[in-house]
Amino acid sequence: MEKIQEEYGKISEKYCNHIVQYPPEVSLCAGCTSCEAVCAMVHDGAVSPSLSRIQLERGTVSMIHTIHACMQCRDHPCYSACPKKDKAMCIDEKLGIAYVNQEECVGCRLCVKACPFEPKRIRMNLDKPRPKAIKCDMCRTRPNGPACVEYCQVRCIGKSEDPVPVDDRGRTQGLF
């Protein structure tokens, strides 16, 4: 258990607080998509995987599912790439994270190209007349924090700043 906590500590040096999937030794994603559904509902008022800021990659052979969300890099390459810094791509001073202001985004995709991860953690919302960038913003305006964390049925995701919630048998707290 200490090894898991140590790894999360190393990650926090490079990234701000972000959504994490707990390792398989602790918890296993069931692939239910509740994280995607609630994310899209909170941000866009519709249940649609294409509108979700968190992405579920389903394991077809192994049945090990992987959650992808913005890692909130401390150097914010997406912010640096945006031609409309502080208008379209902004930094939340309180949380230290980058977020997209949908009204100002011009859909240039430079933030997507600047994302160092594969699959990209910033996507384009193609459901709008003019595509806009979407990325995890840790539900920054929501009093209870990230909706995906709150509504995950098996508690396999959390915030990186929080300790891995396990009981004395090494199981995620809240599981069966």
pLDDT at 23: 75
Give 175's pLDDT tier (boundaries 50, 70, 90). very low
Contacts of 121 (CB under 8 A, 6+ apart): 68, 69, 70, 71, 115, 135, 136
20-42: b (≥16 Cβ within 10 Å) or e: bbbeeebbbbeeebbbbbbbbbb
Q: Which two tokens stand for residue 111?
A: 């933030």
The answer on pLDDT for 122 being more than 50 is yes
- Report phi then psi at 77, rounded to 5: -60, -30
Hey, where are the domains in the chain? 2-159
The answer on pLDDT for 83 being more than 90 is yes
**CATH match of 2-159 with 3.30.70.20:** yes
Output the average pLDDT for the chain. 86
pLDDT at 8: 47
Verify cis geometry, omega within 30 degrees of 0, for the bond prior to 119.
yes
Contact by Cβ (8 Å): 64, 85: no
pLDDT at 166: 57
Higher pLDDT, 9 or 76: 76
**pLDDT average, residue stretch 150-157:** 90
Give 27's pLDDT tier (boundaries 50, 70, 90). low
**pLDDT average, residue stretch 118-132:** 91
pLDDT at 176: 37
The answer on pLDDT for 174 being more than 50 is no
pLDDT at 22: 80
Local structure of residue 33 (DSSP, 8 states): -
